[in-house]
């Protein structure tokens, strides 16, 4: 056998191994870049979804804790979402039903609103009694169940709701959702008032 042919054959094999190794390494590198790109894209999508829940200067009630953060409920529309971008120092200071405000890209604890909210809570038996007394003493069951109510004024123990233009009804605050204002529209269903969302 000719020595040149043998050398050419070995050189071709070496080149072939080099090309195969190069292709394998290039393939691994491109796969790593693709995985990192997928992770970054996934993170961007998660941030976009979270940003859709966050509203500037909006109040959020802590509903529960998760391994990644906390579940928050928007007090305007009652939508619940898992907030994963909340500092641990805030998580360590809050509990269920605490009120947070989202402002300038950060959450802050609303201590006064949280305290007021806790003070407004009543026991189940007391709530049931207020609900039954309201049904007996008011004409709520005579009002069309599709009626929408607007807050006319809010006092210490009760709220005046306006409906059908000029009619009003006096409702104990315990039956009105805590996070309401003059713009909130309510309806009455199953013994309590709910927000129209």
Q: What's the CATH code of the domain at 76?
A: 2.40.50
Decide if pLDDT at 49 tops 90. Answer: no
Q: How many domains does the chain have?
A: 3
- Confidence at residue 59, expressed as pLDDT on a 0 to 100 scale: 95
- Confidence at residue 62, expressed as pLDDT on a 0 to 100 scale: 96
Last residue of a domain, one of 74, 103, 118: 118
Decide if pLDDT at 33 tops 60. Answer: yes
pLDDT averaged over every residue in the chain: 84
Last residue of a domain, one of 53, 72, 92: 53
- Confidence at residue 40, expressed as pLDDT on a 0 to 100 scale: 65
Query: What's the distance, Cα to Cα, between the start and end of the chain in Å?
Result: 89
- The verdict on 24 and 45 lying in the same domain is yes
Q: Write out pLDDT tens, residues 126-178.
A: 999 999 999 999 989 889 889 999 999 988 889 999 999 889 999 999 999 98
Q: How confident is the model at residue 186 (pLDDT cuts 50, 70, 90)?
A: very high
- Confidence at residue 183, expressed as pLDDT on a 0 to 100 scale: 86
- The verdict on 126 and 184 lying in the same domain is yes
Got the DSSP string for the chain?
--HHHHHHHHHHHHHHHHHHHHHHHHHHHHHHHHHHHHHHHHHHHHHHHHHHH--TTEEEEEEEE-SSSEEEEETTT--EEEE----HHHHTT--TT-EEEEETTEEEE-HHHHHHHHHH---HHHHHHHHHHHHHHS-GGGS-TT--EEEEEE-SSEEEEEETTTEEEEEEGGGS-SS--TT-EEEEETTEEEE--
Q: Write out pLDDT tens, residues 58-74.
A: 999 999 999 889 999 99
> Which of 75, 56, 170, 65 lies closest to 113, judged by CA?
75
- Confidence at residue 103, expressed as pLDDT on a 0 to 100 scale: 93
Query: In terms of residue numbers, what domain contains 80?
Result: 55-118
- The verdict on 44 and 108 lying in the same domain is no
Q: Write out pLDDT tens, residues 13-31.
A: 556 665 566 556 656 766 6
57 Rama sector, left if φ>0, alpha if ψ -120 to 50, beta otherwise: left
Decide if pLDDT at 114 tops 70. Answer: yes
pTM here is 0.65
- The verdict on 22 and 49 lying in the same domain is yes
- The verdict on 26 and 87 lying in the same domain is no
Last residue of a domain, one of 17, 35, 53: 53
- The verdict on 67 and 100 lying in the same domain is yes
Q: Centre a 10 Å sphere on the Cβ of residue 189 and count the other Cβ atoms it contains.
A: 10
- pLDDT, greater one: 30 or 93: 93
| Mean pLDDT score, 88-116 | 94
Q: CA-to-CA distance for 70 and 86, rounded, in angstroms? A: 8
Would you call 159 exposed, middle or buried from its count of C-beta atoms within 10 A (0-12, 13-18, 19+)?
buried
- The verdict on 42 and 64 lying in the same domain is no
């Amino acid at each position: 056998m000719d020595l040149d042919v043998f050398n050419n054959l070995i050189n071709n094999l070496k080149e072939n191994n080099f090309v195969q190794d190069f292709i394998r390494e290039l393939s691994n590198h491109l796969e790593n870049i693709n995985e990192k790109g997928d992770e970054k894209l996934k993170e961007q999508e998660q941030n976009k979804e979270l940003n859709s829940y966050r509203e500037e200067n909006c109040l959020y009630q802590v509903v529960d804790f998760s391994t990644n953060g906390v579940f928050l409920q928007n007090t305007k529309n009652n939508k619940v979402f898992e907030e994963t971008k909340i500092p641990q120092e805030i998580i360590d200071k809050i509990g269920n039903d605490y009120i947070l405000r989202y402002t300038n890209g950060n959450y802050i604890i609303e201590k006064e609103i949280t305290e007021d909210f806790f003070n407004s809570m009543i026991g189940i038996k007391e709530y049931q009694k207020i609900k039954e007394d309201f049904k007996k003493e008011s004409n709520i069951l005579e009002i069309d169940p599709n009626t929408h109510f607007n807050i006319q004024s809010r006092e210490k123990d009760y709220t005046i709701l306006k409906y059908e233009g000029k009619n009003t009804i006096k409702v104990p605050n315990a039956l009105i959702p805590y996070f309401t204002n003059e713009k909130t529209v309510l309806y009455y269903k199953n013994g309590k008032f709910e927000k129209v969302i």
